[in-house]
Structure 1
């Protein structure tokens, strides 16, 4: 007899009612639904009796990364109604679209993303004609808030209008050709019975036209060996356009109420949900406020031609009754897209109420990939399947094993595993980790989706780390190496180090190079925790890194500038590498000292780096001549350079400075010679420089200064933090001096 075509908007209750009515009236032989055809042989899994929303999650790997796609369903999704109602009516139900991994879906995380951008001009004109703010309000006005009489005909007219003469992309054409081939085959097989075709409204007219001619053989279902599809629990929040989902409908919590209670019940339910959320957060909402909101909503509904308040009517009524402040941005239901930062707190709660709290749950018999089960067993074995804090000793094998499992889960983004403290960069001497475990319903769907990366935790973590490597800069590569060590993944460290060798040799900035060098050195040294001690590849990074860092240090220019802590940390990494790994380097201490001597004497080099070069040579055993040191300090004695130079020196040679009286004595003399104005200029950098000394060492310095003045007493009182910031005192003194000078100039002294 042929086919009946129904165009729908994804997740629309009005469209779902139309589909249900059509199935009941037509009793079709086939119900063909826009959905991934490669799961047709597993449709029984969808019908096990889940609590919606759920989604078909499809994953596959290409040369660069793991890709994922979701085909979500909720109670009011037309595709879900077609599937369930068609099955109950005895029809053969089939998904007829290309698989989610197909190139036609490249760049789409969500199969049911609407094609609205392609017919924006039409909907903009319709919005103007019906005096509504956006396509969502237009849809509610025309369909969700309108009577069901002639609904199918109105939907068809609407979709024909918005598609119009719009030229579909090659990807759309490929999908529509494929869906039409299923229609032709089903019509041929159905004989005297009808075929019902349910597709997104943008595609309906094209599929109808293409199905009118062509072959009638059943189409071949494309297959990809590395693609896998599983059902996952979904949530209304993930379905909501206000949180960034590219769905056909925003506010799934509201439309769930509309599906269950009808238009009048949905409006009342939304009012109640908003009031409850606000009261839980101690926002005042009185009965009078709710009466005012309901009165406004009713009035707006009548003004807009609705029998009962629609979604926007209720929201505008709530806004008018509960928000007296000026809004800094338009209400989110008047535009399309995620809620923007800075939104009014009441508006935030209104949007949350629109989303709803519903989270799907899979039937116990639903097939799952291997990873979730293996993770559950491993967590139970390690005693990590509960809730609360966990403390791990990394020096023992049980603690390291548990830590690696938790780090793999962290890399995969599995919720409920929050690291509170632990080693932060390889060189960190911390050997204890603390975590907080928080089991929850989001863990299972995250594990099912993470199974796209591998069947075991190390395999999946390895894939995640590999994805971070292409095009990564030095800090990122160093972070990948450290994460690889923490998670204990196989094979990755050597490959990352090989990449690091190449990137280190091309580095053009001392600061990130130093960060990578410090990370690799720490991993190379500490075999007990990370298992990379003595690695030849890591030694290659150290060798190339020290050579490159010394070369870059000589190339830095800039004159006077604030001390750069990351640049100084890079020189520290060079120092530590020479101290602990000199036997694998091509640079010895004498060569490094010669380079630093040149840098220290170069007036074009920033003061902090000149000081660091002096400190590097000193810390490597090249003791400076006392007279030359005094001369160097005096050479950098300008108020805008002395503090930065000392920051570099103290960062690299703090202990050496403490054991020598020359630098501190000369510095004491110079500071004493500064005027108040000069001291104010120098003070911030001086404070930064002396911040490299811990409190006990600052106390020793204070005692030396007392002794130089022939004074007795403890230095503790001089370094104990005062009630007023010394910088504030200095600025106040400078202000007083300027006031005195002005008074004297005006003869008022």
Structure 2
């Protein structure tokens, strides 16, 4: 018997019907499906009786790359129908494609991503010929609504798309491998048929390749030595399948196609009109019975106008928009293009897209094997009393509190939904000893189970998996000091001591070549905090972190002395870097042997230069004061008082030496008052934005202290808190005052002053 090839579009109900009818008619010996051949030994597991959508999640890790891939199935996926109908017909279903770890899939996160880019020119020509917006509309027009003679028209369509184009190297490898399975199945089937279900792009090549060559079952390739990998079944969702949320299947609106598969286009359109209206009403958007009737009438009219025997997806959507949206639309309707729903779409359009996308979530059969991580995480959370939802308060100074914290942080690092930290240590610099979390164990959408299964690729336990993720992040960060700082702090929070040491070694090795002052400052801030405070996290007085701190201070000061530039907005990142160096010099100079005198010399030189940005000059002056410099602060403040630079200079000073300003003995507050009070309206308007940013360094209580000092200096009694309030935006008030001053000057020049 001959082999029957069925070329399909992934997740197409029309193709699923064709596959179903073909298998029922032929009752073949083998049903061969485009899918990962290394899963063939677990076909019984795949066909246990799950509720789709589900997916095969495959992972692969080696020294060069980490790759994750999904092979998703919904009820109307032709591949899923081929497997289930093949088993029901007594056939042996088999996957015939290369495993997901194979280099042919290196650039694919999804096996069933469409290949439109390879034949974009042909697809565009067809869209112009049929006067439709894109290939989704074209597909519905040709296949989903009109189901007559589907097989012949599919052959013509895919033959035209493939044309004479040569397959790329990756597709050629896949097609050669699949052809080997087809030849072997044909030889083994004897006089019984074989049905082959693959993407339509591959069908013409497979028909040619399957005609010659060996007839031995191909070997399933093994991952390279030294790599790890595997596959597990995971629940999937319509949201993850929808092209409007980023899935590359090319088939948007999965709920629409599910309804189309189950009841046909008439029933799908009728049910989804009601769903859209219900969603809009739930969001307090007025939709009357007349609007509902209008939507149905307009949908029917568009269906007839476009020559469809029943409403297509875009007939439904366009009818809904015409009936329910009265405003002007600022952007194209999303179904007239391809890809994610763009931000700023009309709220009614968003609800239409969401209704047709659906909220269905798959469910795995209870006997489905799960990776060890799922069982470990479940047992660990139960042991620690974290298997119940609600708020969780933890004290990090108790062994149980620390253990619970580490378990939750490992879940967070693995991106498992349902754990959210509301407060706790932020950078390691804060000696915070309590954390507050919110734990949600409901998992109504199946996201938590899917994420746990997928995270099982990293290790069998929460600790091992989190450590592997941190290793991966460390490798990805390379010499990025900011990224390494984040990983270092997460490693400490997760209790991953081995990772903390390796990350610190990477940081120490990269400090000498670091050029990003802000990122280096972030590393120094975290390393110093962990070195100073974290006896709880097990990193206090770590020699390796001490080395990072010492070398980080030297590098920060060296970079600071090389910065040049004129006036400009204060750079908060580099100010934090100088502040981190200050903290290290103040709190760790003795134990770590830091050279305070050398640092003071840098501070004096930078503060005195006129070709250094003003915020950095102010920070250098503040650093000097923090290290004991006795230079006259009043003279320094007066020397930086130009309206274009004053606020930025103060930002640097306040970032490094807030207490100096608050100390009455320094008289800095009085000098600031005199300088600001002596500015003309125009100069004050120029200086105000930077001044406001500078004073943001003071918390509310300290701002009240400053306001009280100003009141006392003027001999005025009143509430300092009231002084901080204004009747409107300060900048707007200042601009109004400047405008009034200019008007007064213009009137004076014209001799038109107002008289009382």
The answer for the alignment partner of 1:376 in structure 2 is 378
- The 1:563/1:246 distance shift into structure 2, 3 A limit, reads closer
How many residue pairs get aligned? The number is: 744
Which residue of the partner structure matches residue 446 of structure 1?
A: 451
Please name the residue that 2:181 is paired with: 182
Instruction: Quote the residue 1:169 is aligned against.
Output: 168
| Aligned residue number for residue 417 of structure 1 | 419
| Structure 1 match to 2:601 | 594
> Which whole-Å deviations, capped at 9, do the CAs of 1:115-173 have from their partners, x for residues lacking one?
222222222222222222221111112211113x4322222222222222121111111
Q: Provide the residue aligned with 2:234 in structure 1.
A: 232
CA distance in 2, matches of 1:620, 1:26: 88
Partner of residue 643, structure 1: 647
Tell me which residue corresponds to 2:25: 25
- Residues 10-68 of structure 1 deviation map (CA, whole Å, 9 limit, x = unaligned): 11111111111111111111111111111111100011111111011101102244321
Select the residue among 736, 741, 745 that pairs with 2:740: 736
2:47 equivalent in structure 1: 47
Matches within 5 A, 1:701-712: 701=706, 711=715
Aligned-pair distance for 1:638?
2.6
What's the TM-score once normalised by structure 1's chain length?
A: 0.95
- 1:345 aligns with one of 324, 344, 347: 347
**Which residue number corresponds to residue 98 of structure 1?**
98
**Structure 2 Cα separation of the partners of residues 704 and 150 of structure 1:** 88
Equivalence for 2:461: 456
Displacement of 1:725: 5.2
Task: Summarize deviations over 1:428-453 as a string: whole Å, max 9, x none.
Answer: 23322111122212110110011111
SS of alignment partner, residue 201 of structure 2: helix
2:622 maps to 615
Query: Aligned pair in 2 of structure 1 residues 654, 154: CA closer, same or farther (>3 Å)?
Result: closer
State the shift of 1:178 in Å: 0.9
Deviation for aligned residue 1:235: 0.8
CA contact (8 A) 1:66 1:452 kept: no
Residue in structure 1 matching 2:513, options 506, 512, 522: 506
Give, in whole Å, the separation in 1 of the partners of 2:597 and 2:134: 72
Q: 1:346 to 1:681 in 2, by over 3 A?
A: closer
Provide the rounded CA distance (Å) in 2 between the counterparts of 1:402 and 1:317. Answer: 54
SS in 1 for 2:155: helix
Change (3 A) 1:194 1:705: closer
Superposition deviation, residue 677 in structure 1: 3.7
Please say if 1:663 is aligned against 2:662: no
Q: Of 296, 299, 302, which aligns to 2:301? A: 299
Matches within 5 A, 1:2-41: 2-41=2-41
Secondary structure of 1:42's aligned partner: helix
| SS of corresponding position for 1:533 | coil
Deviates more, 1:250-259 or 1:659-668: 659-668
What is the CA-CA distance between 1:721 and the residue it aligns to?
A: 2.8
RMSD in angstroms over aligned alpha carbons? 2.1
1:662, CA displacement in angstroms? Answer: 3.9
> 1:458 touches 1:490 (CA, 8 Å); kept in 2?
no
The change in CA–CA distance for 1:592 and 1:302 in structure 2 (over 3 A counts) is same
Taking structure 2 as the reference length, the TM-score comes to 0.94
In the alignment, is the contact (CA less than 8 A) between 1:322 and 1:346 conserved in 2? yes
Residue 603 (structure 1) aligned to one of 597, 605, 610: 610
Structure-2 residue corresponding to 1:267: 269
Moved more, 612-621 or 249-258: 612-621
Task: Please state how far the C-alpha of 1:227 moved relative to its aligned partner.
Answer: 1.7
Q: Secondary structure at the match of 1:529?
A: coil
Q: For 1:288 and 1:703, how far apart are their aligned partners in 2?
A: 65
Write out per-residue CA displacement over residues 679-699 of structure 1, whole angstroms, 9 at most, x where no aligned residue: 444444444444444455555
Structure 2 residue runs without a partner (length 5+): none
1:563 and 1:401 mapped to 2: Cα distance?
A: 41
Structure 2 residue 751 is the aligned partner of structure 1 residue 747: yes
Listed one character per residue, the Cα deviations across residues 209-239 of structure 1 (whole Å, up to 9, x for unaligned) are: 1111111111111122622011000011111
Moved more, 311-320 or 227-236: 311-320
Partner of residue 582, structure 1: 589
Structure 1: any 5+ residue segments left out of the alignment? none
Per-residue Cα deviation, 1:295-338 (whole angstroms, up to 9, x for no partner)? 12222222222222121211121111111222222222222111
Check conservation: 1:18, 1:151, Cα contact below 8 A: yes
How do 1:336-735 and structure 2 match up within 5 A? 336-439=338-441, 440=443, 441-469=446-474, 470=476, 471=478, 473-624=480-631, 628-657=632-661, 658-698=663-703, 700-701=705-706, 711=715, 713=717, 716=720, 719-724=723-728, 727-735=731-739
- Residue 361 and residue 734 in structure 1: after superposition, are their counterparts in 2 closer, same or farther (change >3 A)? same
- Paired residues for 1:188-207 under 5 Å: 188-207=187-206
SS in 2 for 1:202: coil
| Aligned residue in 2 for 1:63 | 63
From the superposition, tell whether residues 450 and 699 of structure 1 become closer, same or farther in structure 2 (CA, over 3 Å). closer
Question: What residue number does 2:324 align with?
Answer: 322
Query: In the TM superposition, what is the alpha-carbon distance from 1:558 to its structure 2 partner?
Result: 1.7
Q: Once the 2 structures are TM-superposed, how far is the Cα of residue 703 of structure 1 from its aligned partner? A: 5.4
Which is further off, 579-588 or 356-365?
Answer: 579-588
Summarize the Cα distance change of 1:47–1:598 in structure 2 as closer, same or farther, 3 Å threshold: same
Instruction: Tell me if the contact between 2:431 and 2:533 (Cα under 8 Å) persists in the aligned partners.
Output: no
Preserved CA contact (<8 Å) 2:13 2:76? yes
Match of 2:110 in 1: 110
- Alpha-carbon contact 1:543-1:584 (below 8 Å) kept: no
CA distance in 2, matches of 1:414, 1:705: 52
Q: Distance in 1 between matches of 2:88 and 2:308?
A: 34
Contact 2:660 2:666 in 1 (8 A): no
Structure 2 CA distance for aligned equivalents of residues 702 and 428 of structure 1: 28
